[in-house]
Amino acid sequence: MRLHIILIFFLLLEPINTLASEGISLGLNAGSDFNDMDYIGLDVGYKNDAILFSLGFNKNTRNEVDFVSGIYYDLYRNSEFSLYFGSGLEDKNAFLSYGINYKLSENIDFGLGMRTVFESRNENSQEGFLNTRFYFNQQKTEKVIEENIDSVKEVSSLDRVFYEDKRQSISYTVRKGDWLLKIAKMFDVDLKEIIILNRDIINQDLIYPGQIILISK
């Protein structure tokens, strides 16, 4: 019960629109102990990076309703699936859980896993379950995509300017006794232009005979 209260407090700690940008979700669950008890459930989750906090309930075939709270951590994830491990409380009974979640779309995950419920000191229950989770963070995703597109456009513009300058340049082979400022004065160009055009020059005082330097026309 204490964990239930902590999770409720955590979910209500921030405004709902802030939480939505981080990953509010709704989970639908169905499971069985492979014996005489099946259950269905509903929960609300809040995911922050690799950690999911959930709070909900399960109703079993004995017509019992159990409040369930859990914390789950992604051990491994990529663009297609994630492996997780978690723990929590089902009413007064602690449980451990592990499984795999498949990403069906940007906002929908489908998972299957196993759960061990410690019902007493001498007895525990092994359960298998399926889970479908719906995320409500499309607004944040679209915003990130738009920001990335703008960044790509900015980089592309810089590369285009650099390419055009490079295409209009001439090559000069460094001779013994040359240094960059001398070469800049020789071709009547700004020293900064030479450094920008030649990205491989890290130290303007370190050039060597035979080195090819691009000079803008």
Instruction: Convert the pLDDT of each residue in 131-190 to its tens digit.
Output: 999 998 655 544 555 565 555 555 455 555 555 555 578 889 999 889 988 999 988 888
Model confidence pTM above 0.85:
no
pLDDT at 146: 58
Q: Of all residues in the chain, what percent carry a pLDDT higher than 70?
A: 75
Structural domains of the chain in order of their starting residue, each with its CATH number: 23-136 (2.40.160.20), 169-216 (3.10.350.10)
For the segment 124-134, the average pLDDT, to the nearest whole number, is 93
Task: Report the alpha-carbon angle 124-130-135, nearest 5.
Answer: 120
Residue 105 carries which DSSP code? S
User: Reduced to 3 states, what is the DSSP secondary structure of residue 160?
Assistant: helix
State how beta strands 38-48 and 24-32 pair. antiparallel
Angle at 49 (CA atoms; ends 45, 54), nearest 5 degrees: 15
CA distance 19 to 149: 25
Buried b or exposed e, range 69-86, using 16+ CB within 10 angstroms: bbbbebeeeeeeebebeb
Q: Which two tokens stand for residue 13?
A: 């700690």
- For the cut 50, the answer to whether the pLDDT of residue 2 exceeds it is no
Digit-coded pLDDT (tens) for 7-40: 444 444 444 444 434 589 999 999 998 888 899 9
Contacts of residue 67, defined as CB under 8 A and 6 or more positions apart, other chains included, come to 4, 56, 57, 90, 91
List pLDDT tens digits, range 33-67: 888 889 999 999 998 888 999 999 999 998 999 99
